[in-house]
């Protein structure tokens, strides 16, 4: 669950109280039947230092508590031209192929909640195009990856799980809809080699289609990247997010980013809507026999509540249909 972002309040004032959110989650963890992984975005080393400052102020320093020492992200080979081709890394997971992960078993920085072990993790990000990278972070792709190195190193020294993001992997608002899959694979490989535990490949603009998603995934796998090291982050701008999620599911992806009620957007991608609705995604997964552990009726109620609180329309068709059925 994305809980906050340690960015400069000057640029994103909405995230100015992320330290308070972190402190509250540690001091007053919500009751839950299963562990929850709370993710905080850290754009630079200063952001990570502020994250640790807030964490340590609770007298509960971040530490590894449930990380399997044998569980490591796949180390993919370079995707540069001329590199020898190798077979994709084998999938070694023994999990039920129909089960979508719902617990943070691979995370560090634990806090307890009603007998469960919640986790705190951080996320770092870069982009698949130079134009978007400069607009979003005021630096080149290479510079953004250099910035990630000390962040990952410090996080790992404190046994905190790191998640990477590659923005505009299926279309850029500045460079157009045709982003080279090989470029995305190269950046994803670099993030994993730096030590990221997982990389979320993001269709920030919602320009992705089923064929493009399939091509991208095949390119990632051909580069030696395991589907278990990947997540898909799909915006629903053109109504294709659910289709693309099913393509990902068919290719072995088991982690998907979503937002309740379809909330969200991107200030650097004009017209981009929110992520795929959690309610729509869960309904689709359940219809395919997947096990998510999510109470869809309750999720639909939450979607309606938060949409009303924010004064926004509820963008989840599944959520609205379920609420209509539940209404007396």
Residues 208-233 pLDDT 10s: 999 999 999 999 999 999 999 999 99
Please compute the mean of the pLDDT values over residues 156-161 and round it to a whole number: 95
Beta-bridged to residue 202, according to DSSP, are 233
Residue 63: which pLDDT band, with cuts at 50, 70 and 90?
Answer: very low
Out of 4-8, 103-107, 250-254, 283-287, least confident range: 103-107
Residue 184, pLDDT above cutoff 70: yes
Question: In terms of DSSP bridges, do strands 2-5 and 230-234 run parallel, antiparallel, or are they unpaired?
Answer: unpaired
Choose between 86 and 283: higher pLDDT: 283
Average confidence (pLDDT) over 69-89? 39
Q: Residue 68: pLDDT above 90?
A: no
CA 232/CA 201 separation, integer angstroms: 5
φ and ψ of 260, to 5 deg = -60, 135
Q: What is the pLDDT of residue 117?
A: 72
**Which pLDDT value is given to residue 103?**
44
pLDDT digits over 88-116, tens only? Answer: 333 333 344 455 555 444 434 555 544 45
| pLDDT classification of 8: cutoffs 50, 70, 90 | confident
Q: Six-digit token pair at 284?
A: 């689709």
Are the C-beta atoms of 216 and 178 separated by less than 8 Å? no
How high is the pLDDT of residue 14?
Answer: 87
Percent of the chain having pLDDT more than 90?
70
- Residue 128: name the closest of 171, 90, 168 by CA: 168
pLDDT computed for residue 274 by the predictor: 83
Separation in Å, CA 118 to CA 19, 25, 41, 110, 289: 17, 9, 17, 5, 27
Choice among 148, 172, 266, 284 that is catalytic: 266
Element (H, E) at 145: helix 141-157
The β-bridge relationship of strands 256-257 and 230-234 is: parallel
Is the confidence at residue 279, as pLDDT, over 80?
yes
Give yes or no for a contact between 288 and 99, defined as CB atoms under 8 angstroms apart: no
The gap from C-alpha 291 to its chain's centroid, in whole angstroms, comes to 19
Residue 287 has a pLDDT of: 97
Q: 33: pLDDT confidence band, cut at 50, 70 and 90? A: confident
Structure token pair of residue 244:
């693309």
Q: What is the CB neighbour count within 10 angstroms for residue 13? A: 10
The better pLDDT of the pair 256, 271 is held by 256
Catalytic, 148? Answer: no
Residue 194 host element (H or E) = helix 181-194
Q: What CA–CA distance (Å, rounded) separates 308 from 259?
A: 15
pLDDT at position 273: 75
Q: Is the pLDDT of residue 86 over 50?
A: no
Q: What is the pLDDT of residues 125-135, one digit of tens each?
A: 999 999 999 99
Mean residue pLDDT of the chain comes to: 85
Give the model's pLDDT for residue 170: 98
- Are 259 and 228 in contact by the 8 Å Cβ rule? The answer is no
What pLDDT sits at residue 22?
A: 94
pLDDT of residue 69: 29
CA distance 125 to 187: 10
Q: How confident is the model at residue 9 (pLDDT cuts 50, 70, 90)?
A: confident
Average pLDDT over residues 149-176: 96
- The gap from C-alpha 201 to its chain's centroid, in whole angstroms, comes to 8
* Spatial separation of the C-alpha atoms in residues 84 and 62, rounded to whole Å: 40
Label each residue of 207-250 as H, E or C: CCCHHHHHHHHHHHHHCCCCHHHEEEEEECCCCCHHHHHHHHHH
Please, are residues 320 and 277 in contact by the beta-carbon 8 Å criterion?
no
Model pTM score = 0.83
- CA-wise closest residue to 161 among 290, 15, 35: 35
Specify the higher pLDDT residue, 284 or 80.
Answer: 284
The number of beta carbons lying within 10 Å of the beta carbon of residue 71 is 12
User: What pLDDT does residue 60 have?
Assistant: 53
User: What are 259-271's pLDDT values in tens digits?
Assistant: 999 998 766 556 6
């Amino acid at each position: 669950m994305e809980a906050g972002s340690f960015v400069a309040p000057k640029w994103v004032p909405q995230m100015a109280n992320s330290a308070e959110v972190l402190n509250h989650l540690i001091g007053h963890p919500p009751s839950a039947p299963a562990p929850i992984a709370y993710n905080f975005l850290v754009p630079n080393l200063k952001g990570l230092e502020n994250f640790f400052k807030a964490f340590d102020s609770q007298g509960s320093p971040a530490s590894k508590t449930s990380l399997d020492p044998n569980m490591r992200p796949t180390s993919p080979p370079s995707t540069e031209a001329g590199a020898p081709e190798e077979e994709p890394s084998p999938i070694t997971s023994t999990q039920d192929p129909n089960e979508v992960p719902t617990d943070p078993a691979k995370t560090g920085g634990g806090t307890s909640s009603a007998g469960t072990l919640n986790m705190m993790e951080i996320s770092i990000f870069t982009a698949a195009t130079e134009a978007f990278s400069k607009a979003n972070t005021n630096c080149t792709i290479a510079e953004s990856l250099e910035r990630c190195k000390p962040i990952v190193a410090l996080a790992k020294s404190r046994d905190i799980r790191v998640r990477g993001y590659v923005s505009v992997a299926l279309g850029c608002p500045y460079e157009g809809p045709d982003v080279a899959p090989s470029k995305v694979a190269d950046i994803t490989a670099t993030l994993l080699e730096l030590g990221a535990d997982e990389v979320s490949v993001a269709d920030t603009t919602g320009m992705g289609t089923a064929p493009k998603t399939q091509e991208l995934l095949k390119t990632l796998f051909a580069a030696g990247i395991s589907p278990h090291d990947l997540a898909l982050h799909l915006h629903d701008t053109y109504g294709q997010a659910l289709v693309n999620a099913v393509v990902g599911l068919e290719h072995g992806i088991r982690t998907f980013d979503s937002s309740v009620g379809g909330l969200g957007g991107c200030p650097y991608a004009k017209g981009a809507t929110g992520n795929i609705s959690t309610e729509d995604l869960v309904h689709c997964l359940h219809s395919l026999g997947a096990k998510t552990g999510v109470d869809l009726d309750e999720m639909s109620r939450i979607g309606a509540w938060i949409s009303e609180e924010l004064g926004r329309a509820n963008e989840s068709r599944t959520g609205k249909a379920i609420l209509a059925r539940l209404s007396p």
